[in-house]
Amino acid sequence: MDQRWRPTVNERDFIERALQSDLRVDGRRPFDFRRLKILFGREDGSAEVQLGDTRVMGYVTGQLVPPYKDRPNEGTLAIFTEFSPMADPAFEAGRPGESAIELGRVIDRGLRESRAVDMESLCVVAGKHVWSVRVDIHILDNGGNLIDAANIAALAALSTFRRPECTVGGEDGQQVTVHDPEVRDPLPLTIHHLPIAVTFAYFGEGNIMVIDPTYKEEAVMGGRMTATINSNGDVCAIQKAGGEGVMSSVIMQCLRIASVKAADITSKIKNEVNSYTSAKALQKVKRLPASVPQRDNISDVAMKENTDGALEVQGAKATSDVQQINKELPSIVKDKQEDVEPMLTEWNPEVKSESKLIAGESGLSAVLNSLILVDMVSKFHCSPDGAHARCYSLSSLTKSAVKYGRMEKRTNRKSQ
């Protein structure tokens, strides 16, 4: 069963002839990259890269291991590449083929020997415990130029990976305690620079070269060269394994083009990583259990803090409202890309209608209660959000009061 796709004579002819007039089959110019999209998963250290049709997923994990004997105070970095048969019917499951191994080696050389990731900061107890970082690269869709896409996936995943914080203690200073991510924030890896791989394909006896070949161009090309360069212009690795002979002046030109492209891609990666990290940090600050309608605590909060008898009645009503919502919520089954927290959006309308009842009460009592509620909210939010609490409207104050009640219960549960 030969699964390998072979280009027809017509396709080969067409691609080569078009390149002689500087035209590529998908309409790009010879030195254009395809559209690059970097997406991150929910966990730290998982990234998916789409470079045109090529899709690669990178996943980083870490664990504590004893170090190598000849490097007792350095951590280890290992790259595992799997060419999944999902990407191409020609790939076989099981043992990685030569191109899979070559890809793994090129990425490994770019990261390890250029010291892009700081290994010494991964040491916990010299000679006994170091962090071993494992990068798994899964090729999901082979649309050509796997090396570049896999490299970007590995870099994006390493940039968002967080390892748990651990402290050394005990009597002999050898006991290592690894802290839970909830207790202490996990730490990022120290990455000095980002080595970007840029692949060139040669056609027509080494005269014509293109960047970022597609799957069909790869089948027709005469030779390939991958240059791993960082944004400072340092050449981290070059891989040219056989293929067409190319003049040295052409190689120098390729390196110059590669450094320009590397700077471009580096800034893209950094932007994406920054926006992901800041979005995640924001989520942490506002972290509230979005959809746990507490049944008993609302009346507690209302009765504890207010002096106005009227609000007590309202508090009881709030309880019954929330109870109703609890039973009414149907099983929510949504189609693609919709709000992941459906419960919150459905719950709010009920709370808003309730707050209107409060607003209907005498202005003074309402103001009094709003002040008390704001006080509670700002005390609890010891974050910049506390400053905003004072500008909240009444409806959102009620929301916050309810959330405060839930947070209280949560901290009570934690302290138990």
Partner 1 sequence: MEEIRADGRNPNQLRPFSCTRNPLDRAHGSARWAQGDTIVLAAVYGPKPGTRKGENPEKASIEVVWKPMTGQIGKQEKEYEMTLKRTLQSICLLTVHPNTTTSVILQVVGNDGSLLPCAINACCAALVFAGIPLKHLAVAIGCGVLEDGEVILDTSKAEEQQLKSFAHLVFPNSRKSASSKAANQKEEDSEQGLITSITHGVMSEDDYFNCIERGLAASSRISDFMRTTLQKQAPGDA
Residues that bind partner 1 (CB under 8 A): 1, 3, 41-43, 46, 48, 53, 55, 57, 59, 61, 82, 84-89, 93, 134, 136, 138, 140-143, 289-293, 326, 329, 331-340, 342-343
Residues 223 and 246 sit within 8 Å (Cβ to Cβ): yes
- CB closer to partner 1 out of 164 and 206: 164
Q: Look up residue 9 and give its two tokens.
A: 């004579």
- CB closer to partner 1 out of 90 and 357: 90
Residues 153 and 190 sit within 8 Å (Cβ to Cβ): no
- CB closer to partner 1 out of 16 and 82: 82
| HEC per residue, 338-363 | CCCCHHHHHHHHHHHHHHHHHHHCCH
CB of 294 to partner 1, least distance (A): 9
Residues 37 and 93 sit within 8 Å (Cβ to Cβ): no
Can you tell me the distance from the alpha carbon of 226 to that of 155, in angstroms, rounded to the nearest whole number?
17
- CB closer to partner 1 out of 208 and 325: 325
Burial of 308 (0-12, 13-18, 19+ CB in 10 A): middle
- CB closer to partner 1 out of 138 and 224: 138
CB of 326 to partner 1, least distance (A): 7
Q: Look up residue 395 and give its two tokens.
A: 């409806």
- CB closer to partner 1 out of 69 and 284: 284
CB of 55 to partner 1, least distance (A): 7
Can you tell me the distance from the alpha carbon of 246 to that of 196, in angstroms, rounded to the nearest whole number?
22
CB of 340 to partner 1, least distance (A): 6
Burial of 368 (0-12, 13-18, 19+ CB in 10 A): middle
CB of 215 to partner 1, least distance (A): 8
CB of 1 to partner 1, least distance (A): 6
CB of 190 to partner 1, least distance (A): 22
CB of 331 to partner 1, least distance (A): 5
Can you tell me the distance from the alpha carbon of 196 to that of 111, in angstroms, rounded to the nearest whole number?
10
Strands 129-141 and 76-83, by their bridges, are parallel
CB of 318 to partner 1, least distance (A): 17
- CB closer to partner 1 out of 78 and 359: 78
Residues 20 and 38 sit within 8 Å (Cβ to Cβ): no
| All residues at 6 or more sequence positions from 151 whose CB lies less than 8 Å from its CB, including other chains | 106, 107, 110, 195, 196, 197, 228
**What does R_g of the chain's alpha carbons equal in angstroms?**
29
- Phi then psi for residue 306, to 5 deg, are -100, 155
- CB closer to partner 1 out of 332 and 371: 332
Can you tell me the distance from the alpha carbon of 38 to that of 371, in angstroms, rounded to the nearest whole number?
45
- CB closer to partner 1 out of 138 and 261: 138
Q: 3-class SS at 331?
A: coil
